[in-house]
């Protein structure tokens, strides 16, 4: 399906003057589409709105929602990527206050992963690349993802489905393209993302669902020692749902009952 730029079918994705291309000055969302409907849309748009506020990008949120719904309907099935940039500017870091944000919509096929990832769990690679601490950008899905690009280049072995990333202080933060949860004594624990990392929409949805079910949830710093003490470990994102983690370095975990329970909830949230 053809991409849309500012609501219109377009062959070129962006102007050469676009600040998203020049500086990574913008945000993006990757959204699963089922039967013409974008999944977890409200959470995606909430994160996008937060990013716009943080980066001072004045965008028409109602228009973005309308275009997303229309594009998803035309797609039918697959993965929709929204890129929102600050728009065009001349040379230099200073933004043009008259610039209009640019909206780019792209369609991709539905993600396909081995069923074993969800059923049997995955092995995590220990990434050497560390996430820099920047509270202003923490939690946002901004366009500069070079840390993740470098981290993902560290392994080619198909035995590893994901990589584990830490910050420069050694705290456990997330996967390269997913969020991390620990289960300990029946409670959920997920890393604090106020310094760095991406606050995923599936992470937010699972925390809300777990809270409604009365499952204790804690957001805090996580050390390697806490990882070692976990009863269960799993990763999540808004495309594949939940993957149990069966191993990391010398550590191993069973695919436990709480992981399986939340896996069922994630499938319902993604309508799969």
Domains of the chain, first to last = 4-108 (3.30.470.10), 115-269 (3.20.10.10)
Q: How would residue 105 be classed by pLDDT, with cut points 50, 70 and 90?
A: very high
Give me the mean pLDDT over the 108-133 stretch: 96
pLDDT at position 194, please? 97
Q: How would residue 271 be classed by pLDDT, with cut points 50, 70 and 90?
A: confident
Nearest to 13 by CA among 78, 80, 105, 101: 105
Q: How much of the chain, in percent, has pLDDT values that exceed 70? A: 98
Judged by DSSP in three states, 101 sits in coil
- CA 95 to chain CA centroid, Å, is 27
Task: Return all residues near 83 (Cβ < 8 A) that are at least 6 apart.
Answer: 13, 20, 26, 27, 28, 102, 103, 104, 105, 106, 143
Nearest to 50 by CA among 153, 138, 169: 138
Q: How would residue 188 be classed by pLDDT, with cut points 50, 70 and 90?
A: very high
Tell me which of 8-22, 44-58, 80-94, 203-217 is least confident.
8-22
Q: How would residue 210 be classed by pLDDT, with cut points 50, 70 and 90?
A: very high
Distance CA 237, CA 269 (A): 11
Distance CA 4, CA 271 (A): 25
Give me the mean pLDDT over the 86-98 stretch: 86
Give me the mean pLDDT over the 232-246 stretch: 97
pLDDT at position 13, please? 57
- pLDDT score of 90 more than 80: no
- pLDDT score of 23 more than 80: yes
Distance CA 117, CA 161 (A): 8
Q: What is the pLDDT of residues 30-79, one digit of tens each?
A: 999 999 999 999 999 999 999 999 999 999 999 999 999 999 999 999 99
- pLDDT score of 14 more than 70: no
Computed over every residue of the chain, the mean pLDDT equals: 95
- CA 107 to chain CA centroid, Å, is 17
For residue 104, the cross-strand partners are 5, 83
Where does residue 17 fall: left (phi above 0), alpha (psi -120 to 50 degrees), or beta otherwise?
Answer: alpha
């Amino acid at each position: 399906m053809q991409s849309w730029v500012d609501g219109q079918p377009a062959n070129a994705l962006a102007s050469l003057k676009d600040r998203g291309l020049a500086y990574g000055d913008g945000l993006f969302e990757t959204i699963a589409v089922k039967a013409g409907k974008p999944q977890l849309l409200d959470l995606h748009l909430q994160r996008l709105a937060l990013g716009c506020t943080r980066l001072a990008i004045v965008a028409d949120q109602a228009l973005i929602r309308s275009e997303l719904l229309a594009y998803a309907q035309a797609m039918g099935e697959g993965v929709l990527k929204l890129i929102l940039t600050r728009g065009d500017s001349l040379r230099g870091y200073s933004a043009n206050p008259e610039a209009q944000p640019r909206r780019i919509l792209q369609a991709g096929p539905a993600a396909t992963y081995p069923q074993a990832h969800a059923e049997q769990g995955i092995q995590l690679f220990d990434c050497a690349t560390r996430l820099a601490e920047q509270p202003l950008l923490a939690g946002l899905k901004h366009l500069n993802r070079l840390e993740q690009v470098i981290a993902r280049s560290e392994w080619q072995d198909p035995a590893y489905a994901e990589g584990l990333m830490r910050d420069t202080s050694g705290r456990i933060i997330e996967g390269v393209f997913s969020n991390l949860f620990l289960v300990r004594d029946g409670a959920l624990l997920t890393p604090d993302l106020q310094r760095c990392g991406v606050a995923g929409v599936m992470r937010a949805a699972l925390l809300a669902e777990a809270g409604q079910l009365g499952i204790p949830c804690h957001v805090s710093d996580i050390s390697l020692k806490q990882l070692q003490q976990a009863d269960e470990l799993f990763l999540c994102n808004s495309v594949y749902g939940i993957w149990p983690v069966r191993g990391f370095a010398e550590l191993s975990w069973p695919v436990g009952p709480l992981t399986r329970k939340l896996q069922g909830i994630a499938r319902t949230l993604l309508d799969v």
